[in-house]
């Protein structure tokens, strides 16, 4: 089977299947994912918080029928947390595989969410795995594991975070096929709200317009833009009868800012929309 036909079959199969995990395709991200997968290339997804990165990976795993191992990276995540460690039992010590090692052995998509949050030494273990070698070296046991043919590495991060001590090393970045995600287009975002929260299209459009207005303030008055996720929260609360102003205050404004003045200004903005 040629590469093209493989991709075509995969895409076809996808469109035919009934989706249990909803994802609104934005652009050509599904194709890129399929192309990268055909060559076992690792993928890097960049995008602001709550724009659908994780949902996309879940959707692709479901469509491709691969096991998905998600690791949410955090400050204290060490290499051992990914690779595994020796544990002691009544019979002596034994080796316990970490989530990454498990995926490398058995095949599946290993998704490292917000990789920028992990310590820098952690990301170095990915190097041999994310180039042509496709192997994982376990220092503690001295084992070298060749990656399963179905293993795929996907990492994501949010380039908006401006903590200077955090950032992907260029040497790490250059091992990935990279995609930039952004918030969906207004039409798509309204569709997502309708689908996820079951609100009317008209209400969804108003929420999306509110979102667009608030996003103008990101990086000036707000640290982060309002995410599609937050809009979905507000839409869900409204669908169950919560008053629009109240839903927006608690699902959008309060999560975004602690500043009283910004809070008041945004509340007035919400009133302008509803």
Partner 1 sequence: MEEVVGKIWDKWITSQVTTDHVDTKVHFSELQSQLLIYYRAMGGDGAKSIEMAEKRELNIHRSTMQKIAGSHKQFYVSWQDERSLRLPPYIALFTDKNLNQSLYFWLTALAAQLDKQRRSAQLNTHDTNNHDANNSGSVLNQNDWFNDNQQATCHLITEYAGLRRLYSTLAHEVLRLRSIEIDASLKKQPTSSLSHHLFKGDFFNKDNDLEQAEKAIATVLKIPGVINQYPPCSKDVLPVPLWLYPPIDVQGQGANFDPMDEKNNQKNSKRKPGELQEIEQRKKAQYADDNRKTDGLLVFQAEALMTWTEQINLDRCQSDEDDDADVTQIAKDLDIISLSRHRKANAARIRFDLDLPAAAQDDLRLGDGILLPEWDYKQQRLVDNACVLQTMISDDVEPMALSSEYQKLSQDILALFAHIGLTPNRRKAQPSGDEIDLDAWIDNFALPVKDSSKQAFYIDTQHQNRDVNCLILADLSLSTEAYIDDKQRVIDVIRDSLMVFSEALTRLGDDFALYGFSSVRSQHVRFHIFKNFDMPHSDHVRGRIARIEPGYYTRMGAAIRQSSQLLSQRGGANKVLLIITDGKPNDLDQYEGRYGIEDTRQAIVEAKLLGLVPYCVTIDKKGHDYLPYLFGSNGFAIVSNASELPRVLPKIYLHLTAVH
**What is the contact surface with partner 1 in residues (CB under 8 A)?**
75, 78-80, 85, 87-90, 117, 119, 162-167, 169, 206, 209, 213-214, 216-217, 219-223, 261-262, 264-266, 268-274
Tokens 């084992």 sit at which residue? 143
Rounded Cα–Cα distance for residues 204 and 192 (Å): 9
**C-alpha angle 180-184-189 in degrees, rounded to nearest 5:** 160
Cross-sheet strand order for the sheet of 177-180: 68-72, 108-113, 151-157, 43-46, 177-180
> In sequence order, which residues have a C-beta less than 8 Å from that of residue 238 and are 6 or more positions away?
197, 199, 203, 244, 247
Q: Kindly state the smallest distance separating residue 256's Cβ from partner 1, in Å.
A: 11
Residue with smaller CB distance to partner 1, 65 or 258: 258
Nearer to partner 1, 62 or 263 (CB): 263
Nearest distance in Å: CB 254, partner 1: 15
Contact (CB, 8 A) for 29 and 181: yes
Residue closer to partner 1 by CB (options 232, 266) is: 266
Task: Output 64 or 269, the one with its CB closest to partner 1.
Answer: 269
């Amino acid at each position: 089977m040629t590469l093209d036909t493989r991709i075509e079959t995969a895409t076809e199969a996808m469109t035919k299947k009934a989706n249990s995990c909803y994802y609104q395709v934005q652009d050509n991200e599904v194709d890129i994912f399929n192309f990268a997968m055909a060559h076992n290339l690792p993928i890097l997804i960049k995008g602001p918080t709550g724009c659908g990165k994780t949902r996309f990976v879940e959707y692709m795993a479901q469509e491709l029928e691969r096991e998905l191992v998600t690791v949410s990276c955090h400050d204290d995540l060490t290499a051992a947390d990914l690779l595994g460690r020796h544990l002691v039992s009544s019979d002596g010590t034994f080796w316990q595989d970490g989530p990454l090692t498990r995926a490398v052995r058995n095949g599946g998509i290993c998704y490292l969410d917000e990789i920028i949050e992990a310590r820098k030494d952690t990301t170095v273990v990915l190097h041999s795995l994310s180039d042509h070698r496709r192997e994982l070296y376990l220092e503690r046991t001295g084992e070298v594991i060749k990656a399963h043919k179905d293993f795929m590495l996907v990492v994501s991060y949010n380039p908006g975070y401006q903590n200077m001590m955090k950032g992907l090393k260029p040497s790490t970045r250059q091992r990935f096929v990279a995609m930039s995600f952004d918030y969906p287009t207004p039409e798509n975002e309204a569709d997502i709200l309708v689908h996820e929260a079951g609100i009317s299209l008209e209400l969804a459009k108003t929420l999306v317009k509110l979102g667009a207005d608030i996003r103008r303030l990101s990086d000036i008055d707000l640290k982060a833009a309002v995410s599609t996720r937050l809009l979905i929260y507000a839409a869900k609360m409204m669908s169950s009868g919560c008053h629009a102003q109240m839903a927006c205050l608690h699902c959008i404004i309060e999560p975004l800012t602690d500043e009283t003045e910004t809070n008041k200004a945004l509340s007035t903005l919400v009133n302008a929309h509803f």
